[in-house]
Amino acid sequence: MQKLGMGQAINQALREEMRRDPNVFLAGEGVGVSIHLNPMFPTHGLLEEFGPGRIKDTPVSEAAIAGLAVGAAEAGLRPVVEIMFNPFFTLASDMIVNHAAKLRYLSGGKSAFPLVVRMKSGAGIGAGCQHSHNLEAWAAHCPGLKVVMPATSADAKGLLKSAIRDDNPVIFIEHMGLYFAPMPVPEDEYTTPIGKAEVKRPGKDVTVVTWSGMLGVGLAAAEKLAQEGVDVEIVDLRTLVPLDKETVLASVAKTGRLVVLHEATRTGGFGGEVAAVVMEEGFHNLKAPLRRVTGPDIPVPASPPLERFYIPSDEQLIAAIKEIL
């Protein structure tokens, strides 16, 4: 099986979907000619294959990029637009939150907005809080948007292909820390369904629900705990909206314990939603109170010791698990 970083896996998904469907086009800042002359980046080489008619380098204009997607999608194209970093979602958010997400509803179901907004996110690059800020809970809070946050290259490829074929607006958030780690990706054509979580590691003692860049932290903690005889089950949500309650609840029914792990800040984070669902629908299966392990309620600082402090660690996860064992 080929081994690809997440950026390369996304590149394959974009390439294959553009070959398959002439209505798919890309737009964004530097999606054609980028400062990154680097094949590990998602849109590398696409301009050469598809030309400037379909790979649209835009001005620095997030509102216009998002508006372009909304209008073009309503008119029958399938835009895949890039907002360079997750925090700049704020600039695109009128078009996405007030329009992409609501116009189908407003039309009484007559219109559809088959668009994808790709964004980079995640702490760990030392760039500080205007570049590193995970805003998935904002998007998830907005009815009408699907929210996808893959943790592996294979999922990224399969989920992006599904997102492009989906008739709804999909927010697709990519953790930069995963771009460069080679992971197995099937060679054959496949898609991964939106709205299905996956048990990335089976276990019987405690469930850790996580997504995106935190999967690695969860798996590392599980390895360490295995040596102490604790068997951790890791559920990777992959998609926040729609939320695969079934997989989460089934796992909690099996283990009786839950820790939700995410990189985004705690208050109002999506971990609260997962926790609430389990309290409402799986409380009878819980043997102990659930826990959240998240980023603290601060903007992501630049200085390395501060940034490391921000990012949830396997030690923190292990401590939380031990509290409820």
Partner 1 sequence: MQVSAEKQREMLWTMLLSRRFEDELMELCKVEGKIPGMMILSTGQEAVGSGACAALEPEDVIITNHRSHNHLLAKGADPNVLMAEIYCKRTGCNKGKSGTLHLAVPEVNAPCTSTVVGAGPPIAVGQAFAQQYKGEQRVTVCFFGDGAAAEGSVHEAMNLAALWRLPVIFICENNVYAGAQRYEEHAPNPSMADRAAAYAMSGVAVDGNDALAVYHVVRKARERALAGEGPSLIECKTYRCRGHGEADPQHYQPKEEICAWQEKCPIPRLRDDLISQGVLTAADYQEMEGRAETIVMEAVRFAEDSPYPSPEEALEDVFA
Ligand X SMILES: Cc1ncc(C[n+]2csc(CCOP(=O)(O)OP(=O)(O)O)c2C)c(N)n1
Residues that bind ligand X (CB under 6 A): 29, 60, 62, 84, 88, 91
Instruction: Quickly count: other Cβ atoms within 10 Å of residue 17's Cβ.
Output: 21
Taking alpha carbons only, the member of 241, 214, 272 closest to residue 147 is: 241
Please select the residue that binds partner 1; options are 91, 112, 249, 250, rule is CB under 8 A: 91
Q: Taking the complex as a whole, how short is the minimal distance between the CB of residue 58 and partner 1, in angstroms? A: 8
Piece of the chain touching partner 1 by CB under 8 A; list 164-172, 178-186, 267-275, 308-316:
308-316
Using CA atoms, how far apart are residues 174 and 262, in angstroms rounded to an integer? 14
Q: Taking the complex as a whole, how short is the minimal distance between the CB of residue 60 and partner 1, in angstroms? A: 5
Given the complex with partner 1, which of 91 and 253 has the nearer CB atom? 91
Phi, psi (degrees; rounded to nearest 5) at 182: -65, 130
Taking alpha carbons only, the member of 211, 304, 314 closest to residue 264 is: 211
The helix (run of H) or strand (run of E) holding residue 264 is strand 258-265
Using CA atoms, how far apart are residues 35 and 6, in angstroms rounded to an integer? 19
Applying the rule CB under 8 A, the residues between 119 and 138 that interact with partner 1 are 125-131
- Interaction between residue 63 and partner 1 (CB under 8 A): yes
Given the complex with partner 1, which of 253 and 302 has the nearer CB atom? 302
DSSP 3-state of 284: helix
- Interaction between residue 34 and partner 1 (CB under 8 A): yes
Q: Taking the complex as a whole, how short is the minimal distance between the CB of residue 297 and partner 1, in angstroms? A: 7
Please select the residue that binds partner 1; options are 304, 319, 323, 325, rule is CB under 8 A: 304
Note if 99 is an active site residue. no
Peptide bond preceding 312 in cis form (omega within 30 of 0): no
> Which residues are known catalytic residues?
62, 131
